Each structure stands twice: as C-alpha cells, then as structure tokens.
Amino acid sequence: MKTPRRLWPALLAGLLLQSLAHAETAARPARWNAAVQWLQLSDPVDASPMAALAFYPSTAPAAHSRIDGYDVAAGLDQPLARGRFPLVVVSHGNSGSPLALHDLATALAEQGFIVVAVVHPGDNDRDHSRLGALSNVYGRPLQLSAAITAAREDSRLRQGLDEGQVGVIGYSAGGETALIMAGARPDLQRLEQYCQRFPDDRDACKTRGVLIADHAELAAQQDPRIGAALLMAPLSLLFGRQALSSVQVPTLIYSGDQDQLLALEHNADALARKLPQVSDYRLLNGAGHFVFMAPCDERQQRRMPVLCEDGEGVDRHDIHQTLQEEAARFFSETLRGDQSATIAERQPVPALRAAAAR
C-alpha cells in the first residue's frame, strides 16, 4: 500500500530523527567495567622497589575489590578490554595514597582510559621519610615518568595502550609533581621567602622553606610525553610566571574556596593567572582541601573524620560525579582529539563556580 503524499513530511522527519539518534548512540564512547592490578617497578631515585596501581577497562563482569581499606569498584587482575586506550598517570598528595582517588581512576577506566597511580616512595601514608627533601620534589616526577615506561612495557597493559601523549592528574603536592612533568622549573627560593612571610603554614613550611639536600644531583626533568594536566587543589608555591613559561599543555584546575591547607591566593589562584594555557579554572563553593578524596565509607569516617567531613551544603558525591565527567571529557578532548563538547561551551554545574583565569 502506498503512503499518502500528505504523510511524507512526517515520515521523513521520523526517519531523520531515527538516523540522528543512531548517529548519536554510535558517537558515544563505549563504556566498560573497571579492573585493577598492582605494578611493581623501581624508584629512579635510589633503585628501591616502588608500587603502582593500574586501573583499566575490562569486559569482565563488574566487581569490587577491598584494597588497603578502600572499597574499589574494580575487579582485581581481570583481562584488559580490546582496543587502544590513552594513558593517564596520577600523583597523590603528601603522606597520601593513590587509593584516595580511586573513584576518579575507576570512572576514567570505565570511559576507556588506562590510569596508573604511583605510591610515592618516602611520601605516602606509611612512609614520610622524604618529606621536605629534594628527593621528594624532584623524585616524584621521575617516579611518574618511570610508571609511564613501565605501563608501556607491562605484559597486560602494553597491548591496549595507544602511542599518543599521556595525561597527568595531580592532587595537592601531586599538582607540583604534574607541573614539573609538564615543564615547570621550581624556584626553591620562592618557598624560603614564602615561609619567612608565613611561618605558621605548617604544611608548606615544615623545614622552614629550606629543602633537605639529600640528593643534590637531582633536578627538574620535563617529560615530553605529557599532553594534558588535571590539577586538584594544587601546591604551586615554587613557581613564578617565568618558571611556568614552558608549560605548554592544556590544563584544567579545580580547587575549593575554603581550602584549609593551601592558601588559595598563593597556589591555585596564582597558578591560574600565570600558566600559559588554562582550559578552565573551577572553584568549588564552600569546599575544603580534602573534598577531592573519594567519598568515605562508614569505617573511614570513624577512622579519619577530618579527611571525610565537608562544609555545610557541600555534597562530595555530587562534586565527584561532576569531576569524573569533566575529567573524561577533558582527557578525551586533549588526548583523543574529541572536540565534540569543549569545556568552555558547557554551563557550570550547581556545585561549581567557574573562575576566570585572572
């Protein structure tokens, strides 16, 4: 039976909408389940053993693993999904753990990234021996560079890694680490001068601004494989404008406007003004320094309430949902070349206040 001529426009419109719907579905990134494995490598500072966690996409059934007190939404040692995936490396904060950022790592793995997060030797939740030392400032970037090389040589991961540039995520002191990898040159005198002015800043001035010269042979080394940086509550006291002039990669900065550890005007605010490329700078209303750590379960809330409690009106779960979505978009745009939805074109979400790079 022939279709009446008067119905052709509606029929054509319906076919067009159906076609667009199929195209939109095809354009969406595939979604996998997250898997995780331990990597054992060597610390480039002194050749001692160093550990890292690798999160990656898998077609195995969704699973959870209990790792060092964290409930991680990833199956342990599951097979890697077929395909080629960009690499992102992660640097945690002073005296911290990469597992504190486990939800961001698993979310990126589900969106088709391989994420390698180092346990920084001498600066983690079990070992503080390098705090305030040159081996920590200059060693941390070397450790992430070693993790990139190790991931590309790992028997499981290498078959799924693409050969493009690498993303880096730095939280707190990890922000300083990420900036050095991207080309920043620390000015150690800036820290000493800062501590003379603000001696009560216990986090930054534990050694009164004079770093322990335990490995005087070390220096800042840029890693040319880095192609984009996501910085969260970044420590950046060591960098003036000239020191940041070689950082020529897209950078996305998040910070809380109630950061109780790092003075905003000397860190994230100053960084956003001085960096040559800032894709976006976002402040979280009412949020403190620890809001970027994964939401705590009941056991963690009892064991470390200071790290788990947020200010009134701050919803860590909502913030992390937004952060995970933005991180996946940012690294898709910068590492995969997906320009379908740039950050600048999207409206700020309710939990965030977009801050111009002043």
The partner residues of 354 in beta bridges, in order of sequence, read 282
- pLDDT at residue 129 in the model: 94
Q: How many CA atoms lie within 13 A of 42 on its CB side?
A: 4
CATH number for the domain running over 33-355: 3.40.50.1820
- pLDDT at residue 208 in the model: 82
Model pTM?
A: 0.87
- pLDDT at residue 201 in the model: 79
- pLDDT at residue 227 in the model: 98
- pLDDT at residue 349 in the model: 36
Q: How many CA atoms lie within 13 A of 158 on its CB side?
A: 8
H-only helix segments in the chain: 8-27, 102-110, 134-137, 139-153, 173-181, 188-197, 268-274, 298-303, 305-308, 316-335
CB atoms within 10 A of CB 126: 8
The Cα–Cα gap between 313 and 331 comes to: 29
Instruction: Tell me the DSSP string of 54-116.
Output: EEEEE-SPP--EEETTEEESSEETPPPPSS-B-EEEEE--TT--GGGGHHHHHHHHHTT-EEE
- pLDDT at residue 200 in the model: 81
Here the tokens at position 25 are: 């579905």
**C-alpha distance from residue 344 to each of 174, 275, 349 (Å):** 25, 17, 12
Contact 114, 55 (CB under 8 A): yes
> pLDDT tens digit string along 78-120?
999 999 999 999 999 999 999 999 999 999 999 999 999 999 9
Angular region, 256: left φ>0, alpha ψ -120 to 50, beta rest: beta
The Cα–Cα gap between 41 and 151 comes to: 10
**122: helix, coil or strand?**
coil
The Cα–Cα gap between 355 and 337 comes to: 25
Those residues of the chain that have pLDDT short of 70 are 1-30, 339-358
